[in-house]
Amino acid sequence: MDNHQHAWLSEVLPSAARRVLDAGCGRGDLAAELVRRGHEVTAIDISTEAVEAARAAGVPALRADITTYPVPGDGLGDDVGSLFDAVVMSLSLHHMHPLDAALDRVSALLKKGGLVIVDEFAWDWADRAAAAWFYDAGSLLAAAGVADFPREPGSPGRDPVERWREAHLDHTPAADMLAALAQRLEITSLRREPYLSRYIGGYVSRKVMNSTAEVINELWRIERARISAGTLPLTGFRLTARKM
């Protein structure tokens, strides 16, 4: 699934964007790809576990909170170098709280004309069909022993919409993220994307990821076919925005 994201980044991230901040780097997969492409990458995450995993993968990640990350020239950040050409947030913005503080700091860390690249989950765009498909597909992979998908007692009989909403109470809705981004930056591109199969793929054990790649790709194909048929909604978006 990362190949889809990498192809999109090739479209939107200029090779001249030398200094890139990966805000919410997770296990460092994206940061490693950006380094491979020749960018000077600073990777940060608030999770100690994520930072340790990224470092184990060869990414010199830092444990830091984007809402308080030092800005050059503010008296605190003189040791962090110059401003960034681009800030990339891959499936991390919906976890950043408070949202306004996070995006204020992102804007402050960017050069004038700098680019913000957001690849996000829009949980509030899901409907009953999306929630049911997600939990059914995830449960099958868990039963097959290839995914650490959450299995709750009695969950097959639970209302999927209730379960979905309860699971995402701490996730910022897409509507709020888009409004906050538009208040601070000039949005230059926005497109809705499939996300459910990517979401499920995130639960697949890394020990069996290669052997199950065909299964995840098939889920991706089915999801896109259902979207084309109008029976599943798009539950993700990709956005670029520029600091004016």
> How confident is the model over 72-102, as pLDDT tens digits?
866 554 444 589 999 999 999 999 999 999 9
For the chain, domain boundaries: 2-242
For residue range 57-72, what is the model confidence (pLDDT) as tens digits? 899 999 999 999 998 8
- Per-residue pLDDT of 36-45, as tens digits, reads 999 999 999 9
Q: Which CATH class is domain 2-242?
A: alpha beta
In this predicted structure, the answer to whether residue 14 has a pLDDT above a threshold of 90 is no
pLDDT of residue 174: 98
Quick check: 154 pLDDT over 70?
A: no
pLDDT tens per residue across span 219-234:
999 999 999 999 999 9
Q: What is the pLDDT of residue 156?
A: 63
Report whether pLDDT(179) > 90.
yes
Percentage of the chain with pLDDT > 70?
90
What integer best gives the mean pLDDT of the chain? Answer: 90
Tokens of 92: 């991390």
pLDDT at 82: 81
Mean pLDDT of 47-53: 96
pLDDT at position 195, please?
Answer: 96
**Per-residue pLDDT at 55:** 95
Average of pLDDT values for 195-203? 91
At 213, is the pLDDT very low, low, confident or very high (cuts 50, 70, 90)?
confident
Alpha helices per DSSP H over the chain: 2-12, 29-36, 48-56, 99-109, 128-143, 160-167, 174-184, 196-201, 209-229
Closest CA to 50 of 216, 202, 200, 195: 202
Angstrom distance (rounded) from CA 239 to CA 120:
8
Statement: residue 149 has pLDDT above 90: no
Measured distance CA(231)–CA(127) in Å, rounded: 10
Instruction: Kindly report whether the peptide bond that precedes residue 194 is cis, defined as omega within 30 degrees of 0.
Output: no
- The token pair that represents 132 in the structure block: 């049911």
Q: Encode pLDDT of 129-146 as tens digits.
A: 999 999 999 988 888 888
